[in-house]
């Protein structure tokens, strides 16, 4: 088993194999922590190395957030278009309204027509409701951007761990090129041991 990241070991539980490290030791990414080659008095035994090793680590992350976003400013107008669907034929009851779907929110409602007594007809009334809007550029508040960047950084760091937690974080914010920038440094405690196949002889392997 090898170290996935640089860190200082704070706890370890070796479940199989022979430990090559100890609590308090600083290790580098890729360093062998537990080997499947166990030295006994009379021979060497090959076994499956397995361990849970936690270390203090440091992670850095850079993220950006736009200073302006596009939002919808509704005009307050509501437009409805009606049509009938008879079988596979559609009959427009509202004429050509010149509505552009690209600048409207659209909601479609379908109502099956029935006769008194509950007899259904093969006719459906379609009501399309449009709410026109204009796309406007809005300045993003700095506090909102910083909160979003911090939340993203926490999710990203935790999502990259097999197990662990963030002990502290130091964000540094700046603005450039129409963006909010954040450079985050996180102090973490996480499980760093990872399995790695070890080649012993040609055509044979075990796990470190």
pLDDT, tens digit, 9 for 90 and up, residues 31-58 = 999 987 777 777 777 777 889 999 999 9
Angular region, 74: left φ>0, alpha ψ -120 to 50, beta rest: beta
pTM of this structure: 0.65
Q: Residue 64 corresponds to which tokens in the numbers above? A: 């950006």
Asked if the model's pLDDT at residue 156 lies above 70, the reply is yes
Which residues are registered as beta bridge partners of 200?
A: none
Q: Where are the beta strands (DSSP E) in 67-176?
A: 68-74, 79-86, 89-92, 104-115, 119-139, 164-176
More confident residue, 166 or 97: 166
Alpha helices in the chain (DSSP H): 142-159
**pLDDT above 70 coverage of the chain, percent:** 91
Mean pLDDT of 100-122: 84
| Per-residue model confidence (pLDDT) at position 97 | 61
d(C-alpha 175, C-alpha 64), whole Å: 9
């Amino acid at each position: 088993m090898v170290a996935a990241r640089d860190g200082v070991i704070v706890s370890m539980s070796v479940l199989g194999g022979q430990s090559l490290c100890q609590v308090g030791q600083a290790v580098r990414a890729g360093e062998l922590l537990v080997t499947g080659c166990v030295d006994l008095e009379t021979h060497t035994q090959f076994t499956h190395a397995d361990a849970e090793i936690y270390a203090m680590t440091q992670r850095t992350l850079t993220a950006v957030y736009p200073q302006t976003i596009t939002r919808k400013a509704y005009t307050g107008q509501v437009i409805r278009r009606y049509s009938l669907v008879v079988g596979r034929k559609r009959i427009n009851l509202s004429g050509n309204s010149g509505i552009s779907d690209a600048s409207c929110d659209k909601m479609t409602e379908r109502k099956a027509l029935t006769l008194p007594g509950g007899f259904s007809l093969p006719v459906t009334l379609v009501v399309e409701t449009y709410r026109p809007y204009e796309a406007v550029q809005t300045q993003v508040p700095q506090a909102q951007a910083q909160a979003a960047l911090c939340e993203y950084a926490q999710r990203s760091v935790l999502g990259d761990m097999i197990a662990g937690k963030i002990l502290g974080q130091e964000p540094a914010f700046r603005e450039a090129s129409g963006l909010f920038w954040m450079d985050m440094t996180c102090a973490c405690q996480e499980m760093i041991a990872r399995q790695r196949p070890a080649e012993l002889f040609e055509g044979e392997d075990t796990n470190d």
